[in-house]
Chains A and B, each alone.
Chain A
Amino acid sequence: MTMQSSSAAGGALDRPNAGTLADVIDTILDKGLVIDAFVRVSLVGIELLTIDARIVVASVDTYLRFAEAVNRLDLEATGQHKGLPDLVEGMEEGGAKKKTKGAIEAAGDKLGDMIGGDEDEEESEDEEDEPQPARRRRR
């Protein structure tokens, strides 16, 4: 079945309660109505910290990472010829499923490093019991 490769218990689709910081940045940055289009007189220019967690997808750095990744597949293929004890140990750890999960987590870590740590996870927890700032009045 298709389910085996997914780490999510409820199927192949992951439905997080709250996005990570990287998600938030991708979602809100440069999005939304521009206040300058409406307000001129009372506009305040406030200092915005530089936020750029995006990586350039078409760059030499990315290409070298791709090459490294595809060459690493070689090593793994070679590694499969190792002795029986190693194989058994691998299976005890959960085999293929474990490996897939490792890849996903590694990707998450990389992104986390880039944008400054594990803050996003703490934030996500906060959000769940966050009261709503606005709620429709009962009429």
Chain B
Amino acid sequence: MAQSETATAGVDATQGGGSTRAETVVYVYGVVPGDVAENAAAKGVGDPPSRVALVRSGKVAALVGEIPADAPLGTPEDLTAHARVLDSAVTEVPVMPLRFGAVVTTIDAVEQELLAPNADAFAGLLRDLEGRAQFILRGRYVEDAMLRELMKEDAQIEELREQIRGKPEDATRDARIALGERIGQAVQVKRDADTHAVARALDTLGFPVVTGEATHEWDAVNVACLVELSREDELRQAASRFAEKQEGRINLRLLGPMAAYDFVPAPQNAG
């Protein structure tokens, strides 16, 4: 197998527990088909960015990089590198992403413990992803437009505003929380409805859909879908139609193509 120069440097292969000390460890980005070619210029996680390499085992391969064993991961650069390595491959080959932070001891371990025993399962997953990629539709409510929409629909909001108007802040805390909560609940109702509308539109086109949770208070829509790359135009047109119908109440963005982060099998609890 492809043996990297630093792969085995000082690795003590003792098992069990975090006592293993090595100068470098191996970061695993994801799994791809075995018939892909390596591009040595790609930049991976770590500072300075690590080299991205391929470890092959028959019909499957892993995108990996050697990183120092003692450097923590999770800087903005690490996160974007993880996504970039996986996403930039996705228009050419099916990519099965591993969760951020997957690290094993050596290149050999990737081949012998991750790939070889799971080759058939991985190959099956990759076959399902062949020619497809994930896209995400993300919408954010335009604050003023949404507030005016809610005020028009809910007279209670105006009543609560009247209670607060002109009074000192510390005297109106409860009223302000009540007002905000009412708005928050109304936004949630809007969010559910708009998310449902987007998910339905994508489902109508036959694209598998996963809806994500809101991560920002003005989030409107967070929907991932798995799309044949040959049908990307259809997706874009459907997204544009939805966006135009919003008349400025939602800023909608289409992200992708990216690796199928939301369409990997649920973690199995193997003992």
Contact = CB atoms under 8 A, between A and B. Distances in A.
Interface of A: 2-7, 11-16, 19, 21-51, 53-55, 57-58, 60, 62-71, 73-74, 99-100, 103-104, 107, 111, 115-116, 119-120, 123, 127, 130-137, 139
B259 to A, nearest CB: 8
Given A14-B251, A63-B180, A73-B147, A123 B77 contact: yes
B140 interface: yes
A131 to B, nearest CB: 4
Interface string B139-172: 0101111011011000001000100110000000
Do most interface residues of chain B lie in helix, strand or loop, or is the interface mixed? mixed
A13 B250 CA distance: 10
A62 B76 CA distance: 25
Given A28-B83, A49-B74, A134 B36 contact: yes
A137 B255 CA distance: 27
B37 A66 contact: no
A19 B80 CA distance: 9
Given A31-B264, A133-B38, 20 more contacts: A13-B252, A21-B79, A23-B136, A28-B79, A33-B265, A34-B98, A36-B267, A41-B109, A41-B113, A46-B25, A46-B103, A55-B216, A71-B165, A111-B216, A120-B76, A130-B84, A133-B39, A133-B88, A133-B89, A134-B95
Contact of A100 (B147, B248, B253, B254): B248
Interface residues of B, number: 115
Contacts of A139: 35
21 contacts: A5-B142, A21-B79, A23-B138, A27-B258, A28-B97, A32-B259, A35-B102, A44-B22, A57-B217, A64-B177, A66-B187, A68-B176, A70-B157, A71-B165, A71-B176, A107-B218, A111-B216, A132-B42, A135-B92, A137-B35, A137-B37
B165 A74 contact: yes
B113 A42 contact: yes
Interface stretch (B2-10, B199-207, B238-246): B238-246
B179 A70 contact: yes
Interface of B: 13, 15-16, 18, 20, 22, 25, 28, 30-33, 35-39, 41-44, 52, 54, 61, 63, 69, 72-77, 79-80, 82-85, 88-89, 92-93, 95-106, 109, 113-114, 117-118, 136, 138, 140, 142-145, 147-148, 150-151, 157, 161, 164-165, 176-177, 179-181, 183-184, 187-188, 212, 214-219, 222, 236, 239-240, 243-248, 251-255, 258-259, 261-262, 264-265, 267-270
